[in-house]
Amino acid sequence: MKHQKKGRKFGRVRNQRKALIKSLAVALIDKGKIKTTLPKAKSLRPHIERLVTYAKKGVKEGAGFRLLGKFLPKASAEKILKNIAPKYEKRNGGYTRIIKLSPRLTDAAKMAYIEFI
């Protein structure tokens, strides 16, 4: 039974799931908007929002790069600190938007765009 178990498995083991979320996060930070399946977008949203919050704290306190370095490569950490976090200084959460799309033709998977607001 799956009582009180949260999170999606995506048919992958733990390391592969972490790598998937990390690669989606890096792609979103680099491009600003990505197209993926709806469940992946919903799983990515809390991770991205947490990273932006770390970056916002880091801009003020100076420890942001170290905090982000645990989760992201150096180039993405710099981009989120210098470009993305300053835009959301006055905003408390809700940095991303998920836009639902029509299902994929090949396997009818629900698709979505996830983007920064």
Q: Give residue-wise pLDDT tens across range 80-94.
A: 988 999 999 888 989
Residue 52 belongs to a domain: yes
Residue 68 belongs to a domain: yes
Residue 1 belongs to a domain: no
Residue 65: CATH number of its domain:
3.90.1030.10
Residue 99 belongs to a domain: yes
Residue 2 belongs to a domain: no
Give how many domains the chain has, as a whole number.
1
Residue 10 belongs to a domain: no
Residue 58 belongs to a domain: yes
Convert the pLDDT of each residue in 29-84 to its tens digit: 999 999 999 999 999 999 999 999 989 887 666 677 888 888 899 999 989 988 99
For the entire predicted model, the pTM comes to 0.88
| Cα–Cα distance for residue pair 39/51, rounded to 1 Å | 19
Which residues form the domain of 98? 33-116
